[in-house]
Amino acid sequence: MKFMDLRQWIALLEKEGELRRITAEVDWNREIGAIARRVLEKKGPALLFESIKGYRSGRCSKLFVRRSLRPSSERGP
Protein backbone atom coordinates (compact mmCIF):
# COMPACT_ATOMS: atom_id res chain seq x y z
CA MET A 1 0.00 0.00 0.00
CA LYS A 2 1.29 3.44 -0.88
CA PHE A 3 0.61 6.52 1.19
CA MET A 4 0.23 10.08 -0.01
CA ASP A 5 1.73 11.54 3.15
CA LEU A 6 2.62 10.87 6.78
CA ARG A 7 -0.89 11.82 7.96
CA GLN A 8 -2.43 9.04 5.86
CA TRP A 9 0.01 6.47 7.26
CA ILE A 10 -0.60 7.61 10.84
CA ALA A 11 -4.36 7.40 10.24
CA LEU A 12 -4.01 3.76 9.14
CA LEU A 13 -1.91 2.90 12.19
CA GLU A 14 -4.51 4.52 14.42
CA LYS A 15 -7.36 2.67 12.69
CA GLU A 16 -5.55 -0.66 13.22
CA GLY A 17 -4.88 0.12 16.88
CA GLU A 18 -1.13 0.37 16.31
CA LEU A 19 -0.68 3.99 17.40
CA ARG A 20 -0.49 5.40 20.91
CA ARG A 21 -0.78 9.16 21.26
CA ILE A 22 1.16 10.51 24.23
CA THR A 23 -0.60 13.74 25.23
CA ALA A 24 1.18 14.30 28.54
CA GLU A 25 4.06 16.77 28.39
CA VAL A 26 7.38 14.92 28.13
CA ASP A 27 10.99 16.10 28.30
CA TRP A 28 12.79 15.37 25.03
CA ASN A 29 16.12 14.92 26.79
CA ARG A 30 15.04 12.67 29.68
CA GLU A 31 11.76 10.96 28.94
CA ILE A 32 11.13 10.35 25.24
CA GLY A 33 14.06 7.97 24.76
CA ALA A 34 13.24 5.95 27.88
CA ILE A 35 9.55 5.65 26.99
CA ALA A 36 10.31 4.72 23.37
CA ARG A 37 12.92 2.14 24.40
CA ARG A 38 10.54 0.38 26.78
CA VAL A 39 7.68 0.28 24.28
CA LEU A 40 9.91 -0.87 21.41
CA GLU A 41 11.46 -3.64 23.56
CA LYS A 42 7.94 -4.98 24.17
CA LYS A 43 7.11 -4.61 20.45
CA GLY A 44 4.40 -2.14 21.38
CA PRO A 45 2.55 0.33 19.17
CA ALA A 46 3.93 3.35 17.35
CA LEU A 47 4.21 6.42 19.57
CA LEU A 48 3.22 9.97 18.73
CA PHE A 49 4.44 12.43 21.35
CA GLU A 50 2.13 15.44 21.09
CA SER A 51 3.47 17.69 23.83
CA ILE A 52 7.25 18.06 24.06
CA LYS A 53 8.51 20.34 26.83
CA GLY A 54 9.99 23.52 25.38
CA TYR A 55 8.57 22.97 21.88
CA ARG A 56 5.06 24.44 21.90
CA SER A 57 5.26 25.50 18.26
CA GLY A 58 7.85 25.43 15.56
CA ARG A 59 9.95 22.78 13.95
CA CYS A 60 9.70 20.00 16.53
CA SER A 61 6.38 20.20 18.34
CA LYS A 62 5.60 16.49 17.77
CA LEU A 63 7.73 13.36 17.50
CA PHE A 64 6.81 10.01 15.98
CA VAL A 65 8.50 6.71 16.91
CA ARG A 66 7.85 3.40 15.12
CA ARG A 67 9.81 0.12 14.96
CA SER A 68 8.59 -0.85 11.47
CA LEU A 69 7.43 1.25 8.54
CA ARG A 70 4.71 -1.25 7.61
CA PRO A 71 1.46 -1.73 9.56
CA SER A 72 0.91 -5.28 10.83
CA SER A 73 -1.78 -5.88 8.21
CA GLU A 74 0.94 -5.65 5.54
CA ARG A 75 3.60 -7.75 7.30
CA GLY A 76 3.93 -11.43 6.59
CA PRO A 77 3.90 -14.21 9.16
Structural domain spans, the chain:
6-68
* Prediction pTM value: 0.72
**Residue range 1-58, pLDDT digits in tens:** 677 888 888 888 899 998 899 889 999 888 989 998 898 889 888 888 888 888 876 5
DSSP string, 25-40: -B-TTTTHHHHHHHHH
Contact 51, 26 (CB under 8 A): yes
